[in-house]
Amino acid sequence: MGGVRYPGQHKPLISPVLFERVQEVLHDRNRAGVRERTHDHYLKGLLYCGECGRRLSLTLAKGKYLYLYCLGQKNSLRHLTGCTQPYLMADQAEKLVESLYRRVQLPSEVVARLEQELEAEIVERQSTAADLRVGLTKRLAALADERQKLLRAYYAAAVPLELLKREQDRIGQAEEQARRQLSAAEADLEGWQQILGLAIKLAGSCHDAYLKGGPKVRRRFNEAVLKAVYIRDGQANAEFTDLFEALFSGQGLNKAAMVPPTGFEPVLPP
């Protein structure tokens, strides 16, 4: 009212952290290189030629045979690579990716060790987060007290209107920053724990779960686990997302813990 802010009682409809997470999920759904066209497939945008590095594209032959070919062979004269990669039936590519998941699936003893490491890491991080929450809560209480004192000074005509507005803006910005930090401190630990827990579970059952999943589930698995799959001479080799690269390569939880959780939400079949 009149440019002066008075303390409100309503709660925000959505936290800044939740808003950012929603934006990340929406962004991740628009995966680069994956565009819906006539010949859709859950491996689309994921497969690359192991000989020249160009993307493998889908095409339909005789109206019923879906197969892949290297864009280095027929993607305009300017982009030809001289690649000799033979055409590959889509179902053959599916089998190669299935075998890839079988090769990287973690043994049960490794999964158990990672879960123990995760429990220990959670205890340590909970202690750190608790200290941070206490400090931020005190900061918000101090800012609220400062706001009330400022209003009392204004009502007593000890503070002019323009100074009141400037000080309220400053306090409001400080409160918003503290709330963001507090919200992040509470949400990040929970999100980090959930993501790493799911990642460890998935790394230990990825082959079985992948085989049970339909096309939509398999696509989400691939988006969470794989950056790219390179196919050559009937073999598939993968480039994993950072989190799963740490788990599958044996770098362990310490390396995986440094990977920021951004939109990972795999579907685990029953």
Which band of pLDDT confidence, cut at 50, 70 and 90, is reported for residue 14? Answer: very low
Q: Which residue has the tokens 């988006």?
A: 223
Taking a C-beta distance cutoff of 8 angstroms, is the pair 210, 98 a contact? yes
Question: pLDDT tens digits for 202-227?
Answer: 888 889 888 988 898 889 888 888 99
The answer to whether residue 35 scores a pLDDT higher than 50 is no
pLDDT of residue 146: 92
Q: What is the pLDDT of residues 120-161, one digit of tens each?
A: 777 777 777 778 888 888 999 999 999 999 999 988 888 898
Q: How far apart are CA 134 and CA 62, in angstroms?
A: 68
User: Tokens standing for 231?
Assistant: 């196919």
Higher pLDDT, 256 or 140: 140
**Structure-token pair, residue 108:** 């049960």
Domain boundaries, given as residue ranges, for the chain: 16-256
CA 222 from centroid of its chain's CA atoms: 13
Instruction: Say if residue 26 is exposed, middle or buried (CB neighbours under 10 Å; 0-12, 13-18, 19+).
Output: exposed
Q: Which residues of 3-15 are buried (b: 16+ CB within 10 A; e: fewer)?
A: eeeeeeeeeeeeb
> Which pLDDT belongs to residue 196?
80
